[in-house]
Amino acid sequence: MHIRSWALGVCALFLGGAIPAAADPNRIVSLDYCADAYVLALAERDHILALSADAARPYAWGRDRMAGIAQHDGSAEAILDLKPDLVIHSGLEHLKSVHMLDRFGIEIIDIGYSQSLDHGRKALLKVGAALGEDKKARHMLASIDGRLMAAQKQVAMLEKTHKRPSALYLTPSGITTGRGTYIDEVMALAGIDNQLAENGVDGWSSVGLEALAAKPPAW
């Protein structure tokens, strides 16, 4: 792997990083499952060259939309073979590939990992601008904000007669979240108290069976 990376670096130096970026990209690759969601939501289907290896996993948003779209293994070699004019990633993984692709002059958009709904909004608009799909991104954002506003009104009505339930967000691998994440924010908007946040925990964490048994959440 180190030899292949070194060879690619030498090639990049000799070629001068000569893959030009298109004004309106039509050969798009997403590098991880977070980026997959933005690309599937905004890009024209025939402009998507490939999605990440995680795009079809049960937890991936848009897996029902990706039939017929190729997937890659995240290596710089595989992505260079596709000859993309735009690569989108969230900084979660494949950072060595990102650095190598950058040396070849491929346009790279880093949307970052969303820790809040506001960050997600900005990422949506950023990808929309990069794809030449500003109007679609703004329309999608307006729809999302409209649904959030409607949900908040429903929650406000329910809270007049119902106590807010307590819940624990838990992934299949046992990862949960406290304060300061978009999951905590969504739970609050839905009228649900985040049990881990109530316990004073910040950010992403793990939880053991003993802790769950000692204080089981309502949900």
Low-confidence ranges of the chain (pLDDT < 50): 1-22
Give the per-residue pLDDT at 8: 33
DSSP at 85: S
- Cα 41 to the center of its chain, rounded Å: 11
Cα–Cα distance, 43 to 131 (Å, whole number): 7
DSSP at 113: -
Give the per-residue pLDDT at 3: 34
DSSP states of 119-175 as a string? HHHHHHHHHHHHHT-HHHHHHHHHHHHHHHHHHHHHHHHHTTTSPPPEE----TTSE
Cα–Cα distance, 49 to 30 (Å, whole number): 9
Give the per-residue pLDDT at 24: 65
Residue 97 in tokens: 């590939």
- Can you state the angle between helices 33-42 and 117-131, rounded to 10 degrees? 60
Give the per-residue pLDDT at 76: 94
**Could you give the percent of the chain with pLDDT greater than 90?**
58
Model pTM? 0.79
- Residue spans of the domains in the chain: they are 2-134, 146-219
Give the per-residue pLDDT at 66: 87
Tell me if 2-134 shares its fold with 146-219. Answer: yes
Fill in the amino acid letter for 54: D
CATH classification number, 146-219, choose in 3.40.1080.10, 2.60.120.380, 1.20.1440.120, 3.40.50.1980: 3.40.50.1980
Query: 2-134: CATH homologous superfamily?
Result: Nitrogenase molybdenum iron protein domain (3.40.50.1980)
